[in-house]
Structure 1
Amino acid sequence: MIHATLQQLRLFEAVARHKSFTRAAEEIHLSQPAVSIQVKRLEENVGKALFEHVGRRITLTEVGRELYDASKDVLGRLAELDGAIDSLSGEVAGTLTVTAVTSAKYFLPHLLGAFLRRYPDVEPKLKVANRASLLERVGDNEDDLYVMGHVPDDLDVEAVPFLENVIAVVASPNHPLASKRKITLKQLTEERFLVRESGSGNRKVVEEFFEDQGLSINPYMELGSAEAIKQGVMAGLGISALSLHNLRLEIAAGQIKVLKVEGFPLRRRWNVIHRKEKNLSPAAQSFIEFLQTEGQHLVNEAMQVKI
């Protein structure tokens, strides 16, 4: 391993994380053959195979798993060193990696764009993932910051609320309930509900609210994204409870109607979180402060959603 280069470790770590030479090459902006050559040279240095090929799939060998863990440690320590150097210089610059749940994609780019206009030397890396994938990334300490709604109690993280998350019940304008002035929760339990996949933070919040009232909803259709649910609602497949941040254009265009339901809208918070032991870079610290002080105002201005 003494002859292994940092570039080889970076390429190997990317291939192991993605389980794909192609996706690793795209991430690092190299050709796939170039990545393959460097990983092959790393295997020669180690003296053992790092990957096993089963059909078109690749998996790590036992040696590969050990090297993957070591590579994450080495690269993570170097990233922390970069942050420490930036801290000493007092500059808000360098890499900022953020992973957010899919529902945050409707507002987070606006906030990140405004932040970068203020701090142009920051190099952002934004990843959007479902809740399960995000929690895995938190566990592996893969990013600086994470944006999510409901924060599990068993996560060893610092959570900073920065934005109100307004969840409303919505339907097609042609739905029979669209013209009602007052709708009971009991009435909603008799409707066809479109929901996110099990484990979704939004679904958990809504189901817990109904359970607190001694009621439950019976999911009619389970869909993998808020975008798919919006299309289903507009097509008249059923009703749903969604964050208003997801619905700005559809509400403005009259394609989706916010229903007047007792107890709704639900008001929760979006949080930016990080591992408690994480040594935050000036860029990460500044982004948290930016979200706290300006996030709500900027999103209200950009989204212009009223109920």
Structure 2
Amino acid sequence: MNYTFHQLQIFLKVVEHESITKAAEELYMTQPAVSIQLKNFQNQFDLALTEVIGRQLFITEFGKEVAVIAERVVQEMENINMKTQSFKGHLTGRIKISSASTGKYVIPYFIGGFFEQHRSLDLILDVTNKTRVVESLKQNEIDFALISVLPENIEVEEEILIENRLLMVGNKPHRDESRPLIYREEGSATRSAMEEYFNTKEKNQRKRLELTSNEAVKQAVLAGIGNSIMPVIGMHNELQNGDLHVLNYPRLPITTQWRLVWLKGKKLLPASQALLDYIRNEKENIIEEHFKWYQNYG
């Protein structure tokens, strides 16, 4: 067999999209060029890798098996390239992090200095809800996840960053039991914590509203629409300015930990390992510099 690394990359894109046209677009190649390379790769095998039924391209079972192996080969080749660069003193590649939505107030401070030092690295940061973060972690689509509650049924390793404190907040300094409670959407760790606190899984104790992001909840509380249990870490300016107030409720704060997690046994690439080492070495300095105000709440 005499196929090339480039052909493996092209074949994997075709498998990913089940489309030569979409593969060509993502690879910045012409459709005929992708077709030629795919045909040359196919010629190395006696069994079909793809088949066309009607006008739809499908990957055969044999093709799917080849793709699994090809993925490993491509990954190892990228590892070799990154390892070569690391021996030269340069980190290259891409780090993928998926963060629970409130984590956007946390993760930039813990990784900003690292990416300032290593400008040749690319960062993909997906900020979404906990359900999607856990699914990305489970499918090994990311290098790290930032979450406040450990996922169930997934073995992970972790590096704890900072406490996550949830307190009841409103736009007035006093409690008003007539105001509705504002909840996050299903799948949010904050939603789960708030439901557990008010025991609302079976019944509503107070009129409630539901919004789909932490920022939306915060704006609703600022507007006086209702009160909510929210992570204090995302309300620095509003609390300092007196636009929001922590309300005195028993059994609060609810405290968890913001933690960076990755799949147990995952072989971290040099760039990912370097980021983890940086966080471990600089964590206390980062907390002191950026989160000293946090100690005043909870």
Q: Greater shift after overlay, 287-296 or 137-146?
A: 287-296
Match of 2:208 in 1: 220
Alignment: residue pair count: 280
Match of 2:256 in 1: 268
Q: TM-score, normalised by structure 1?
A: 0.73
| AA of the residue aligned to 1:291 | I
The 3 A distance-change label for structure 1 pair 9 and 147 is: farther
The 3 A distance-change label for structure 1 pair 288 and 237 is: same
Match of 2:141 in 1: 142
Specify every segment of 5 or more residues in structure 1 that has no aligned partner in the other structure, as ranges.
Answer: 55-59
Asked if 2 retains the 8 angstrom alpha-carbon contact of 1:161 and 1:292, the reply is no
Per-residue CA distance 1:128-159 (angstroms, 9 max, x = gap)? 22222212211221121111111123112112
| AA of the residue aligned to 2:216 | A
For residue 179 of structure 1, the aligned residue among 171, 174, 183 is 174
The 3 A distance-change label for structure 1 pair 79 and 271 is: farther
Q: 1:277 and 2:265 equivalent?
A: yes
Match of 1:101 in 2: 100
Specify every segment of 5 or more residues in structure 2 that has no aligned partner in the other structure, as ranges.
Answer: 43-47
Asked if 1 retains the 8 angstrom alpha-carbon contact of 2:11 and 2:38, the reply is no
The 3 A distance-change label for structure 1 pair 252 and 94 is: same
For residue 5 of structure 1, the aligned residue among 4, 7, 23 is 7
Supply the distance in 2 between the matched residues of 1:219 and 1:81 (Cα, whole angstroms). 58
Q: 1:196 and 2:184 equivalent?
A: yes
Shift of 1:84: 5.3
Shift of 1:111: 1.9
Supply the distance in 2 between the matched residues of 1:205 and 1:51 (Cα, whole angstroms). 50
Q: TM-score, normalised by structure 2?
A: 0.75
Asked if 2 retains the 8 angstrom alpha-carbon contact of 1:168 and 1:259, the reply is yes
Shift of 1:284: 2.0
The 3 A distance-change label for structure 1 pair 218 and 135 is: farther
Supply the distance in 2 between the matched residues of 1:12 and 1:113 (Cα, whole angstroms). 35
Asked if 2 retains the 8 angstrom alpha-carbon contact of 1:193 and 1:217, the reply is no
Supply the distance in 2 between the matched residues of 1:170 and 1:146 (Cα, whole angstroms). 27
Supply the distance in 2 between the matched residues of 1:51 and 1:73 (Cα, whole angstroms). 29
The 3 A distance-change label for structure 1 pair 124 and 236 is: same
Shift of 1:205: 2.5
Supply the distance in 1 between the matched residues of 2:195 and 2:224 (Cα, whole angstroms). 22
Supply the distance in 1 between the matched residues of 2:70 and 2:137 (Cα, whole angstroms). 17
Asked if 2 retains the 8 angstrom alpha-carbon contact of 1:166 and 1:267, the reply is yes
Q: Over alpha carbons, which structure has the higher Rg?
A: 2
Identical aligned residues as a percent: 22
Asked if 1 retains the 8 angstrom alpha-carbon contact of 2:180 and 2:226, the reply is yes
Supply the distance in 2 between the matched residues of 1:236 and 1:35 (Cα, whole angstroms). 55
Supply the distance in 2 between the matched residues of 1:121 and 1:270 (Cα, whole angstroms). 27
Supply the distance in 2 between the matched residues of 1:74 and 1:50 (Cα, whole angstroms). 26
| AA of the residue aligned to 2:156 | V
The 3 A distance-change label for structure 1 pair 5 and 225 is: same
The 3 A distance-change label for structure 1 pair 8 and 53 is: same
The 3 A distance-change label for structure 1 pair 141 and 52 is: farther
Asked if 2 retains the 8 angstrom alpha-carbon contact of 1:165 and 1:270, the reply is yes
Shift of 1:226: 0.5
The 3 A distance-change label for structure 1 pair 279 and 91 is: farther
Matches within 5 A, 1:20-59: 21=22, 34=29, 48=50
Asked if 2 retains the 8 angstrom alpha-carbon contact of 1:11 and 1:38, the reply is no
Supply the distance in 1 between the matched residues of 2:76 and 2:272 (Cα, whole angstroms). 16
Matches within 5 A, 1:234-273: 234-273=222-261
Match of 1:291 in 2: 279
Shift of 1:250: 2.0
Q: Greater shift after overlay, 294-303 or 235-244?
A: 294-303
The 3 A distance-change label for structure 1 pair 102 and 219 is: farther
Asked if 2 retains the 8 angstrom alpha-carbon contact of 1:149 and 1:271, the reply is yes
Tell me the secondary structure at the aligned position of residue 179 of structure 1: coil
Higher relative contact order (CA 8 A, sep 6+): 1
Supply the distance in 2 between the matched residues of 1:50 and 1:141 (Cα, whole angstroms). 30
Asked if 2 retains the 8 angstrom alpha-carbon contact of 1:159 and 1:272, the reply is yes
Shift of 1:51: 11
| AA of the residue aligned to 2:143 | D
Shift of 1:230: 0.9
Supply the distance in 1 between the matched residues of 2:286 and 2:209 (Cα, whole angstroms). 34
Supply the distance in 1 between the matched residues of 2:157 and 2:9 (Cα, whole angstroms). 32
Shift of 1:278: 0.7
